[in-house]
Amino acid sequence: MRSPLAGITVLALEQAISAPLCTRHLADLGARVIKVENPGVGDSARHYDGVVCGMAAHFVWLNHGKESVELSLTDTGDREVFDRLLERADVFVSNLAPGALGRLGLAPSDVAGRNPRLIVVDISGYGVGGPLDHKRAYDLLVQSEGGACAITGTPGHPAKGGVPVADVGTALYAYSAVLAALYDRERTGCGTVIPVAMLDVVAETMGFALNTVVHGGPEPEPVGMGSPMVAPYGAYPTADSQTVVLGTTSDREWQRLAGNLLRDSDLAADPRYSRNADRVAHRAELDEIVGRWCAGRDLAEIQRLADEAGIGNARLNSVTELAGHPQLAQRGRWREVDSPVGKVPALRPPALGRDWTLPDGRVPALGEHTDAIRREVRDQI
């Protein structure tokens, strides 16, 4: 058993979601992550709410396994501590507001120039150049600018994806780029600078929709719980007041749904519905047929019959139902991490090698490691 990133040090000037999730996953792999926070205030996510016994839900999610050091980068003494940490770091991750790094004398190129082995990750909303590079970039804003909201919700009522895809996607692209750079450095001895713009991340995840319009296809419409590409597909209330999600992804599956699940041979044979394009055109009436069938049965029966017929199906779960989901519990996905308010539950990271050790982690109090890190830096001068 081993931690892949044991011995690697990450210095983070980070706030909110994107950079903190990136560095949390680096900590999950055994890296030492030093989170630099403004004295007395810290990461803004510390103050979003107090739902976890006084700590914020976001902060607890994103920061276990890190060390917190309070440093004012405009104070000469603190800045020297920071510069020493930067000299010895392998990775420097930041997601400050546009221009903030430059004002601190920490522009990515300058920082990289001082230490050719350093891997510098520069997260921004819109990158450098272009009409928007000065703009603030929160998840909802970039989801809107990036077209993601326009394909979510229902026609005329766009919606933000509940999962913060701009932030989470940016975190994961930054995280993977750091790992690629560490691998590259093993072979070349060289670090690099990695710019990651949230808009570019959202655009990448929109690849299907972009290819459609770029090649003259129709502007994709949001279709609620359905699929823009196939029908019938959707969420249907059941007799026991639950909601089942099911449908067909191919003509073959339609035959199984109509013939084997709904047991309606006339429907299965109806030439009006044999091809997916035709079913999409008759989406509403097919939804009604499937909906009527589901409304007469309990969820468990529907799911059993759908499994038997080879039709993909799921339950529309609330967050509370996800929290208690047997598929997470029975597979040991939950663990506990320490925090200033005691042990709190946390999910194991989604992708670990089976012989990698997951560090215990702890959510740090603001400045919890300031004294130790100051001492450490002093001892090394």
Pairing status of strand 157-158 against strand 153-154: antiparallel
Of 222-230, 257-265, 281-289, 373-381: span binding a copy of itself (CB under 8 A): 222-230
Residues 6+ apart with CB under 8 A from 178: 10, 22, 26, 91, 93, 119, 121, 194
Among 103, 113, 211, 372, binds a copy of itself (CB under 8 A): 211
Over the window 230 to 259, marking each residue x when it contacts a copy of itself by CB under 8 A and - when it does not, the resulting string is: ---x-x---------xxx-xx---------
Angstrom CA distances, 246 to 149, 153, 258, stand at 23, 18, 12
Distance (Å, rounded) from C-alpha 91 to C-alpha 88? 9
Over the window 128 to 167, marking each residue x when it contacts a copy of itself by CB under 8 A and - when it does not, the resulting string is: xxxxxxxxxxx-xxx-xxxxxxxxxxx--xxxxxxxxx--
Among 18, 94, 192, 370, binds a copy of itself (CB under 8 A): 192
Phi, psi of 21, deg, nearest 5 = -70, -40
Size of the site for a copy of itself (CB under 8 A): 146
Q: In 3D, which of 36, 32, 111 has the Cα closest to residue 74? A: 36
Among 73, 104, 107, 177, binds a copy of itself (CB under 8 A): 177
SS3 content of the chain, % helix, strand, coil (to 5): 45, 15, 40
Note whether 378 and 85 are within 8 A (CB).
no
For residue 172, state whether it binds a copy of itself (rule: CB under 8 A): yes
- With respect to a copy of itself, which residue has the nearer C-beta, 91 or 373? 91
Q: Kindly state the smallest distance separating residue 37's Cβ from a copy of itself, in Å.
A: 17
- With respect to a copy of itself, which residue has the nearer C-beta, 217 or 296? 217
- With respect to a copy of itself, which residue has the nearer C-beta, 296 or 345? 345
Window 3 to 62, contacts with a copy of itself (CB under 8 A): 4-5, 25, 29, 44, 48-49, 51-53, 57-58, 60-62
Mark residue 316 as left, alpha or beta (left: phi above 0; alpha: psi -120 to 50; beta: remaining): beta
Window 305 to 334, contacts with a copy of itself (CB under 8 A): 307, 310-323, 325-328, 330-331, 333
Pairing status of strand 243-247 against strand 313-315: antiparallel
Over the window 96 to 115, marking each residue x when it contacts a copy of itself by CB under 8 A and - when it does not, the resulting string is: --------------------
- With respect to a copy of itself, which residue has the nearer C-beta, 79 or 160? 160
Pairing status of strand 119-124 against strand 91-94: parallel
- With respect to a copy of itself, which residue has the nearer C-beta, 337 or 374? 337
CA dihedral 368, 372, 375, 377 (to 10 degrees): -90
- With respect to a copy of itself, which residue has the nearer C-beta, 215 or 381? 215
Q: Kindly state the smallest distance separating residue 133's Cβ from a copy of itself, in Å.
A: 8
Q: In 3D, which of 6, 2, 22 has the Cα closest to residue 14? A: 22
Residues 6+ apart with CB under 8 A from 33: 10, 12, 23, 24, 26, 27, 65, 66, 67
Q: Kindly state the smallest distance separating residue 240's Cβ from a copy of itself, in Å.
A: 17
For residue 338, state whether it binds a copy of itself (rule: CB under 8 A): no
Q: Kindly state the smallest distance separating residue 219's Cβ from a copy of itself, in Å.
A: 5
Q: Kindly state the smallest distance separating residue 221's Cβ from a copy of itself, in Å.
A: 10
Among 93, 111, 197, 294, binds a copy of itself (CB under 8 A): 197
Q: Report the greatest alpha carbon distance in the chain.
A: 83
- Adjacent-strand bridge partners of 49: none
Burial of 101 (0-12, 13-18, 19+ CB in 10 A): buried
Distance (Å, rounded) from C-alpha 16 to C-alpha 352? 24
Of 32-40, 76-84, 216-224, 257-265: span binding a copy of itself (CB under 8 A): 216-224
Among 99, 102, 113, 224, binds a copy of itself (CB under 8 A): 224
Residues in the chain: 381
For residue 225, state whether it binds a copy of itself (rule: CB under 8 A): yes
Q: Kindly state the smallest distance separating residue 259's Cβ from a copy of itself, in Å.
A: 18
